[in-house]
A and B are shown apart, each in its own frame.
Chain A
Amino acid sequence: MQSRKLRIGIVTTYPPGAGSLNEYAFHFVHALEQKQEVAEISLFVDQLPPGQQYDLHQSGLHPTNGAPDVATVTAAANGWKTPLRFVPCWRFNSSLNSWHILRAVQQCKPDVVLFNIQFASFGDRKIPAALGLMTPALLRLFGVPTVALLHNIMETVDLKSAGFNYNPLIERLIRLIGWIVTSIVLRANLVAVTIPKYVEILEKRYGARNVLLAPHGSFASESTPPSFDLPDGPLQIMTFGKFGTYKRVETLVEAFHLLQTKHDAALELVIAGTDSPNAPNYLENIAKQYANVPNVRYTGYVREADVPHIFGEAAAVVFPYSSTTGSSGVLHQAGEYGKAVVLPRIGDLAELISEEGYTGEFFEPNNAQSLADAIGYIIDDPERRVEMGRQNYLAAQGLPLLEVVDWYLLHIESLLKK
C-alpha cells in the first residue's frame, strides 16, 4: 500500500553556514527532496552571522513567504521537487538550543526529525555542546520521533587533536561527560552511524539496541566520469575543509616548502576552506607564520558552485589530519572528482580506504618529510596519479546518497508505523 507523504525536519548546519557537516547536509537534503514519499523538508538550521542569510536563490529557489527567520521555499524554479523551509533557530555555543529547536519543531510539526550531528555540532564549549546533544531525547520526550545521524562518537575521537583536551584529568572528565551525553543521544528513537565499529561500541558500552549502520554515501549522482587531465599552470596540491583543530595545515605547508625546493615544476598549495568554528583566526595566523613560503593560496569559504572547480584543478588532495572524527565527506568528494589522495596513517581513514575501495598515498602524521614524499609519489608519476584517481572515482560511485536516503526513509516509515 502507498504510504502517506512525509514531512521531514532536519536539525543541521547548511551552506552558506560554515558549521561542520554543512556540505553533507546539502547533499543529503538534495537527495531527500528527490524522493516521491517526501512532502516537505524543514531545515532547523543555525542562525548565520549578521549580514549573511541562507541564500534561497543560490539554487534558483524563491521564498514564498518572507518572514526573516522562517522562510518557506518553493522548489519548482530549479527542478527541486519538494518544498524546502529554512528555520534558523539555534546558535553555535548557545545553551538554549534544545529549547529553541523544540519550539521551532512544535511550530512546524514535522512527522519526524533527523539530526545531522557530531559531538561538537552545537558548540566548542562543553556545556552548550552537551546541552545541544540532548535535543533528540528532548524532542522524543515531547512525542516527536527522532533519528540521529551521529557522524562520530566520543570513544574514537582524539580529544587533544580535536582541541578539547587540557590535561589528563580534564580528559577523563570530558570522557565521563561524553559517556553521559552519548547515553542521552541514544535516547533518540534511532541512531545511525556510518562505521561498523561505532555500532559495536555503542551496543557493547551503552547496551544500545536502537543503533544502525547506514553508509555515508557518495555525493555523486549519475555523473559522467571526470577528466583526469589537469589545467595548464602550476600543479595544484589542494586541501579542503575547516581547519584548526584536528585538521591542521602546518605540516602540509612545511611539506610543500620541502617539495618546492626539490621540484623544478611549478607548484601551488591551495588551502580551500575556513577556520573550524572551534579555532577562530587559525588560518590567518598560519598565513602570517608561513608568509615566507611562496605559492600558497588561501581560498576562504568555497561556495557549493565552486567546489567542482577547486577539486577539478587539483593534482592531489591532501588530508592533513592528526585524528579523524568520522567517515570523511571530503574523501568521498575527492573520489567523485577522480582525485589521487594523500592520507595520514590513522584510524577511520585507513579503515574507510580499505573497506570502501579507495586508494591513496599514506604519510606519518606530523611528519613533513613523509608528507612531502607521499605527495611527490603522486605528482612525479602522472600515470599513477590518474590510476589512483580512477579507482577513487569508482569507489565514490559505489553507493550514492540518493540510495542511502532510501534506507532512512524505510527506517522512518517503520518507526512511524509503531
Chain B
Amino acid sequence: MEAQSRHINAVQVVEFQGRLDAHQGKQVDQKLSEVRNSSNQTVVNLSKVHFIDSTGLSVLVKGVKHQREQNGDLVLCELQQPVRIIFELTRLDRMFQIYSTEHEAIQAFQ
C-alpha cells in the first residue's frame, strides 16, 4: 500500500494506492493516525484504490469517528465504482461526506 500525504492550508490530504484491505489495514490506520496528529481536517483521496474490504472500511470509520470527536471531519473523494458500491452496500456512503473531486473535498473545509 502506497500512501502520500500533503498539507493544503489546514487540510491534510492523504492519497492511498492499491487495495485497502485486511492486509493493509494496519498501515492505513497508522498513516491516518499520523495525519490526525497534525490536523483534524482530513481528505482521503481514493482515486487509486480499486478494492476495499470491511477492514479497510473499518479503518476509515475509526478515522471519521476520531476526527469528529476532535470537532473536525474526515471526508472522502474520487471513489472508484467498485469502492463506491461497497460504501453503498454498507450505507457508509451516508455516514461520510463524499466528493467527486479533491478540490471540492478541500473546499468543504473552507
Contact = CB atoms under 8 A, between A and B. Distances in A.
A88 to B, nearest CB: 32
B interface, over-half SS? helix
Interface stretch (B9-17, B75-83, B84-92, B101-109): B84-92
Given A1-B71, A212-B89, A406-B61, A399 B54 contact: yes
Most buried by B among A215, A404, A410, A411: A410
A407 interface: yes
Interface of B: 22, 54-55, 57-58, 61-62, 64-65, 68-69, 71, 89-92, 94-95
A205 B61 CA distance: 30
B95 A414 contact: yes
A398 B89 contact: no
Interface string A213-240: 1110000000000000000000000000
B58 A213 contact: no
Interface residues of A, number: 21
Nearest to A397: B22
Nearest to B71: A1
A409 B68 CA distance: 13
Contacts of A403: 58, 61-62
Interface in A402-418: 403-404, 406-407, 409-411, 414
A21 B22 CA distance: 26
A406 B62 contact: yes
14 contacts: A2-B71, A190-B91, A199-B89, A213-B91, A398-B22, A398-B54, A399-B22, A399-B54, A399-B58, A406-B58, A407-B90, A410-B61, A410-B92, A414-B95
B34 to A, nearest CB: 20
Given A398-B54, A398-B55, A212 B62 contact: no
A410 B64 CA distance: 9
Given A398-B22, A399-B58, A410 B65 contact: yes
A214 B90 contact: yes
A212 B58 contact: no
Given A212-B89, A357-B22, A410-B61, 19 more contacts: A1-B71, A2-B71, A196-B89, A199-B89, A212-B91, A213-B89, A213-B90, A213-B91, A398-B54, A398-B55, A399-B54, A399-B55, A399-B58, A403-B61, A403-B62, A407-B61, A407-B92, A409-B65, A411-B91
Q: Which 7 A-B pairs have the closest CB atoms?
A: A212-B91, A215-B54, A403-B58, A213-B89, A213-B90, A410-B95, A398-B22
A411 to B, nearest CB: 7
A1 B62 CA distance: 16
A407 B54 CA distance: 10
B77 to A, nearest CB: 19
Contacts of A190: 91
Contacts of A212: 89-91
A37 to B, nearest CB: 8
Contact of A411 (B64, B65, B95): B95
Contacts of B55: 398-399
A357 B25 CA distance: 15
A2 B58 contact: no
A386 B85 CA distance: 37
A2 B71 CA distance: 7
Interface string A23-58: 000000000000000000000000000000000000
Most buried by A among B54, B65, B89, B90: B54
Contacts of B58: 215, 399, 403-404, 406-407
Contacts of A215: 54, 58
A406 B94 CA distance: 15
Contacts of A409: 65
A406 B95 contact: no
Interface in A1-18: 1-3
B65 A1 contact: no
Contacts of A1: 68, 71
Nearest to A357: B22
Contacts of A3: 68
A2 B69 contact: yes
Most buried by A among B55, B57, B68, B91: B91
A406 B68 contact: no
Contacts of B91: 190, 212-213, 411
Nearest to B96: A410
